[in-house]
Chain A
Amino acid sequence: MTTADPIPGIAAPSARPSAGLLVLLAAMTPEHLEHVLANLTAAFPTEGLLVAMQGALPAGSYPSLRMIAAPATNPSWTLTAADFVNACQLAEKNGSSSILMLGPSSSSLDSAALRDLANAVLATPTDLAVPFYNLPPRTGLVNSAILYPLTRALFASRVRFPLAVHLGLSLRMAQSLAGAAHRFTSSNQAEMPLWPINEATVAGFTIDQLDVGPRFQSQHTGLDLNTILPLLTGTLFADIDAKAAFWQRFRPLPPAQNALPMPMLQAPPTDAAAEIAPMIYAFRLAYTNLQEVWSLVLPPSSLLALKRLSATDGAAFQMSDSLWARIVYDFLLAYRLRTINRGHLLGALIPLYLAWVASHINITAFGADPESHIEAVAAAFEADKAYLVSRWRWPDRFNP
């Protein structure tokens, strides 16, 4: 796996998109669609770029684009199994060798970012091009707390946004993802998200991470933490369970990319104490009510640490990175062993996640760099991987 990154400031030579690039657009509002099509036209001005989109095709405005109809899918905040199946089928039908999948909020990507993503899979032997978003510090916290550290520790990948909604795919990568997606679509679960990084790593495909600038996510109905977090953790845990034979072997983490920028967007100045108060309240309420559920999942040492945390004042409320890593690993193990009903299990993780968020905000409010803290969390996951592997293999071993 390579993680080469284009040198900032030097535009990569544009490949010939008409030689086989298919752009698949997710369902979006007409305003956003206009914006994305304008950016695509700017990125590939002279080529007959093939663009597949849902709904009515805009006629005449974009002569450089060849529009085709894509099968309709339900609007979603991320790329779903149905999107990957459609992408593969359309690419095979139209003889495309590469695919650029643009999910919701694609209008926030400028033409240079679109061109870079497309060039990565067209002009280089990259199979999967993933974006590196420049987000404000308090954005994408589920990714920072769970998705990124778990993917990095288990699949030895430094991809910062494993659940990116914009992807560049080679045809074989699309076929591999479509194969994985078929398991969901055949069981009437077409809305489930997939984990492209895990698939690419297991298949031995090449991954490239590209800086695409900021991402502005539009509000989507149903984007509720109590719904989305169990969905994301459930599908990720299931994917990890299915790929256990791969990640249990030790693999060195590739060196960090110096070329990738640190997130530069700054969060507006806010009162951290007021922001974390609801989360600490939620955690304390859960601590008094969910003891019996947590005690089925977590070892006594973690329960003791949570007890101490629940008694901590708001300003000093800080969850250690090792405790958070251990909690996530224990929930992953309980998911695998079906210690309790999986819906209950993932629901019981939400207050603990909120405690981590409160702790993260507290830590960064005192001057710590958010990205450094997230890297420290990921390092804690890596350091504790031996515990996960050990208990995965011998779940009944004594665990104080």
Chain B
Amino acid sequence: MQNVLATMLQSDTNQASQSLYTGNNSIWRHMSDALHESIYRVLSLLISILPGILAFLVALAILTLIGMVLSALLRRGLTAARFDDRLARSRGNAEWAPSTSPTALIARASFWACVLIGLIIGVSAFDASYATAAALPSSLLPYLARIVGAAFLLIAGNLSARFLARSVLIGAVNMQLQYARFLSLGIKWLVLVLTGAMVLDHLQIGGNVVELAFGILFGGIVLTLALAVGLGSRDLVSRSLESHAEHSGEHSAKPPAAPTAGPDESIRHF
């Protein structure tokens, strides 16, 4: 009886392990197939767009070379023709900085124009090969364009933020506002937050969350600035009123007024 039971159990175990082995084998085979298929798909995709990439690189390289040659020719030709001197005589400008002379500017502009043309030609060649590559995900190239646009937005926003922050800082210092740096920082972060929101919106990341977060952040910064400026001004006004009421002529605590060129003052700047 024990032998019969043992035989039955052994045969059951063998069957189970055999079916498990068969199942594992099938999973591995499916995974392997899937991997092979995806590798094949990516490789065929790369092969299909490779001519486009090569065309892009070749167009860019050739036009860059042409630009370098053209730039060198223009530089030599204009220098030989004394173009800078002639222009200076006609415009009345006696001297140019070497890095910004008209000859250098024209040579540089011609070089970069050629590079730009090369880029345009390369992108259009890549675009043509992309159109034929049916396997390429349809959203990849437009998204690349969005990324480039977002990068431009980011750079422009950063530059604007720095410019505005410095403008506000210098203006506020010349108006003798004690919170000039704070005001400048506030403006800088306002523009940066606005830029960040625009970039994310352009990349279609976040959706409503970005808009909501932007609104909260923007409103928060504006409120903070308003409170800071308002409270600072209140202090300024109260001190001014106090000193006026006291008629003491004490100057130590009062932030002095900005110098002007009024007729009654003994100091006149003009």
Q: Is B146 an interface residue (CB 8 A)?
A: no
Do B256 and A281 have beta carbons less than 8 Å apart? yes
Question: Which A residue's beta carbon lies closest to that of B182?
Answer: A289
Do B268 and A278 have beta carbons less than 8 Å apart? no
Most chain B Cβ neighbours within 10 Å, of A180, A183, A225, A246? A225
Q: Is B259 an interface residue (CB 8 A)?
A: yes
| Interface 9-residue window, one of A23-31, A53-61, A336-344 | A336-344
Tell me what chain B mostly uses at the interface: helix, strand, loop, or mixed.
loop
Known: A224-B260, A225-B261. A290 touches B173 (CB 8 A): yes
Do A139 and B95 have beta carbons less than 8 Å apart? no
**Chain A residues with CB under 8 A of B268:** 138-141, 217
Do A343 and B269 have beta carbons less than 8 Å apart? no
Tell me what chain A mostly uses at the interface: helix, strand, loop, or mixed.
helix
Do A219 and B263 have beta carbons less than 8 Å apart? yes
Do A180 and B251 have beta carbons less than 8 Å apart? no
Question: Which B residue's beta carbon lies closest to that of A282?
Answer: B176
Q: How far is the CA of A269 from the CA of B157 in the complex (A)?
A: 53
| Interface 9-residue window, one of B24-32, B106-114, B164-172 | B164-172
**Chain B residues with CB under 8 A of A228:** 261, 269-270
Q: How far is the CA of A136 from the CA of B171 in the complex (A)?
A: 30
Known: A277-B256, A347-B174. A223 touches B270 (CB 8 A): yes
**Chain A residues with CB under 8 A of B171:** 347
Question: Which B residue's beta carbon lies closest to that of A179?
Answer: B92
Known: A217-B270, A274-B251, A351-B174. A344 touches B256 (CB 8 A): no
Q: Is A142 an interface residue (CB 8 A)?
A: yes
Size range of the interface on B? 20 to 34
Do B267 and A141 have beta carbons less than 8 Å apart? yes
Q: Contact string, A219-240, partner B, CB cutoff 8 A, digits 1/0?
A: 1000111101100000000000
Q: Is B8 an interface residue (CB 8 A)?
A: no
Do A282 and B97 have beta carbons less than 8 Å apart? no
Partner of A282, one of B94, B166, B259, B260: B259
Q: Is B191 an interface residue (CB 8 A)?
A: no
**Chain B residues with CB under 8 A of A347:** 170-171, 174
Q: Which residues of A contact B (CB under 8 A)?
A: 77, 136, 138-143, 179-180, 183, 217-219, 223-226, 228-229, 242-246, 267-268, 270, 274-275, 277-279, 281-282, 285-286, 288-290, 293, 336-337, 340-341, 343-344, 347-348, 350-351, 354, 357, 361
Q: Which residues of B contact A (CB under 8 A)?
A: 92-95, 97, 163, 166-167, 169-171, 173-176, 178, 180-181, 251, 255-263, 266-270
Nearest 10 interchain pairs by C-beta:
A278-B256, A245-B94, A347-B170, A139-B268, A244-B95, A219-B263, A245-B95, A138-B267, A223-B261, A286-B173
- For the complex with contacts A139-B267, A281-B256, 11 further pairs of A-B residues with Cβ separation under 8 Å are A180-B92, A217-B263, A223-B261, A225-B259, A228-B269, A275-B266, A282-B259, A285-B173, A288-B181, A344-B166, A357-B269
